[in-house]
Amino acid sequence: MELDSLYQEVILDHYKYPQHKGLSPVFTAQVHHVNTSCGDEITLNLILEGNQISSLTWDGQGCSISQASVSMMSELLIGKTLDQASLISTNFSDLMSSKGTSSGDSLILEDAVAFAGVSKFPGRIKCALLGWMAFKDAAIQAQTD
Amino acid sequence: MLFSPEQIRKDFPIFERTVRGGKKLVYLDNGATSQKPNSVLEAETNFYKLHNAAAHRGAHQLAEEATQAYEGAREIVAEFLNAPGGSEEIVFTKSATEALNLMAYAMGNAHPGNRFHLGPQDRIVVTEMEHHSNLVPWQQLCDRTGAELAWFEVTPHGRLDLSAIDSVITPNTKVVSLTHQSNVLGTINPLEEIVRRAHEVGALVILDACQSAPHMKIDLAQLGVDFLAFSGHKALGPTGIGVLWGRKNLLEDLPPFLFGGSMIEMVTMRTATWAPVPQKFEAGVPNMAQAVGLGAAIEYLSSVGMDIVNNHERTLTEYLLQKLNSVDDLSIVGPNDSEARGSAVSFTVNQIHPHDLGQYLDSQGIAVRTGQHCAWPLAKRMGVPASTRASLYLYNNEADCDALFNGILGAQKYFGSF
Ligand SMILES: Cc1ncc(COP(=O)(O)O)c(C=O)c1O
């Protein structure tokens, strides 16, 4: 079923068992992003040590795609430098706009290539990008503060 | 002839197509927009094919025909609503959203001394269950005029809390603007009590009839409200056409909102005076083909009979509620019986996010709406950040409700128990 390309096992796993959910008491930057069309919400706390992401925690509510995406993103980005994170984030955005023509670079995106199927569902791309947009915003804030 | 949704469906070409790889279309998103019968599509096309010209302008046959067609549509709308003052009380807009904004902006244009003038001493009343299009324009008007915004709260059962009606609709209230039927909860609001109190303090009542006019007989001579708005596209008509009805004497006192061609009487380099109502509110070449399409839509509905449409929806809503209530872990958001409610039914299914449920249903050919349905404050009040909504119309039948029921069970299986 077409639907299975959207709801990959690993996505549903992250939805059921979200990683790094629960906000850190302190942070370098905190952002709150909402998907205005469906009301999904994410609050993201970023802690930088120098140029390195030492902690990325979040809280939120929303559909499996938005929640699994932010969960996987935190796993992927913790420990990375801002430059590495920016590369990964761009790679993920490109995958989302690929309209189903790309299966994603698993060396860069690891498990997050599971979201490749989302790019065939225009209504869901925003869901998958919610956490990533929040991260971009947090990274900018953390560097300007 | 006996009413049959299956027979009705034959008039709607969209039901001939399939979706998502050959699935039969189960269209349950009528609260967002309705499908269109052939007669509407033909009326719109024929206007362009045969009569196209700018209404109210031009000294030629086509202009005359276009004017007749456009004004004919106005008469059809007036009769449909039983407007006490006839077609002069019908203003065409592009949508209900525009009609409501027209009200808010026009009031903002009123000078001191005009009955519509608002200042910091005045109050505007809405409800917590308004669609954003009947909330945000009033917030903004309050912002511009200093008037105070107050509202009726919604009970956990999805009804308006009128217990404090006298302290909500206060003597300084100028306007009470509310929805006839909630697009989320399906609740039909008790107008009588609200209209009585509003008129007691000299306030005007504006009714958002988007979710009622397409589904029940509206009798303006009985309702008691002073203005009413609805959108053509939710009533089998085209997009791009909406209606604002107002009592003639009030429309005459209300300043215009959009200025330009066709709405003026005389213009000098410094000044202008206004055409009589309703032209005063219809600046520019109007959406003529769409108005004509709306006329055809209303004729279609009237030929079926609004009471028959309404009865059908009531019976089907009861069936739908009964089906939904038999699903484990499903909660109805709003009234759980068919008393004073329309056919928009919102619900949540434990653990399955509405967006995921909607996606699964879509894979089965079932079209529903998910999210907050343009009513954030209501979602907050009901404590459900997002819900799934099924909304019925005259072409829906029990098989559609069964398909939804089976679809929900399918989704529960597909997503497993989280
Ligand atoms: C209750 C209610 N009011 C207003 C509107 C706005 O209608 P439109 O978008 O056609 O202007 C809607 C449509 O969703 C509605 O359901």
Q: What is the reported pLDDT for B307?
A: 97
The ipTM (two decimal places) reads: 0.89
Chain-wide mean pLDDT for chain B?
A: 96
**At B1, is the pLDDT very low, low, confident or very high (cuts 50, 70, 90)?**
low
- Angstrom CA distances, B51 to B54, B67, B198, stand at 10, 9, 45
Q: Supply the pTM of this predicted model.
A: 0.94
Q: Over the range B216-247, which residues count as b (16 or more CB within 10 Å of their CB) and which as e?
A: bbbebeebebbbbbbbbbbbbbbbbbbbbbbb
Task: Using the predicted structure, report yes or no on whether residue B167 has a pLDDT greater than 80.
Answer: yes
Q: What is the reported pLDDT for B85?
A: 97
The reply to whether A37 touches chain B by the CB within 8 Å rule is yes
Chain A residue numbers with beta carbons less than 8 Å from the beta carbon of B415 are 7, 12, 64
Q: Which domains does chain A have, with CATH numbers?
A: 3-144 (3.90.1010.10)
What is the residue extent of each domain of chain B? 5-30+306-416, 41-302
Question: What's the CATH class of domain B41-302?
Answer: alpha beta
Q: In what order do the strands lie in the sheet with B330-333?
A: B330-333, B344-349, B387-391, B369-371
Task: Using the predicted structure, report yes or no on whether residue A145 has a pLDDT greater than 90.
Answer: no
Render pLDDT for B174-226 as a digit per residue (tens, 0 to 9): 999 999 999 999 999 999 999 999 999 999 999 999 999 999 999 999 999 99
Say which CATH architecture domain B5-30+306-416 belongs to.
Alpha-Beta Complex (3.90)
Render pLDDT for B316-375 as a digit per residue (tens, 0 to 9): 999 999 999 999 999 999 999 888 999 999 999 988 999 999 999 999 999 999 988 889
Task: Using the predicted structure, report yes or no on whether residue B403 has a pLDDT greater than 70.
Answer: yes
Equal fold, B5-30+306-416 vs B41-302: no
Q: What is the reported pLDDT for A1?
A: 64
Angle at A35 between CA A32 and CA A38, to 5 degrees: 135
Q: What is the reported pLDDT for B412?
A: 95
- If we measure between CA atoms, which residue out of B142, B407, B106, B57 comes closest to residue B281? B106
* Peptide bond before residue B278 is cis, with ω within 30 degrees of 0: yes
User: Across the interface, do B371 and A65 touch by the CB < 8 Å criterion?
Assistant: no
**Any bridge partners for residue A30, and if so which?**
A45
Share of chain B above pLDDT 90, in %: 94
The span from the CA of B44 to the CA of B296, in Å, is 9
Render pLDDT for A36-68 as a digit per residue (tens, 0 to 9): 877 789 999 999 999 999 999 999 999 999 999
For chain A positions 96-125, those within 8 Å of chain B (CB to CB) are: 121, 123-124
Residue among B92, B94, B97 whose CB has most ligand 1 atoms within 8 A, to mutate: B97
Preferred mutation among A7, A9, A14, A63 to probe B, highest tally of B CBs within 10 A: A63
Render pLDDT for B217-245 as a digit per residue (tens, 0 to 9): 999 999 999 999 999 999 999 999 999 99
Share of chain B above pLDDT 70, in %: 99
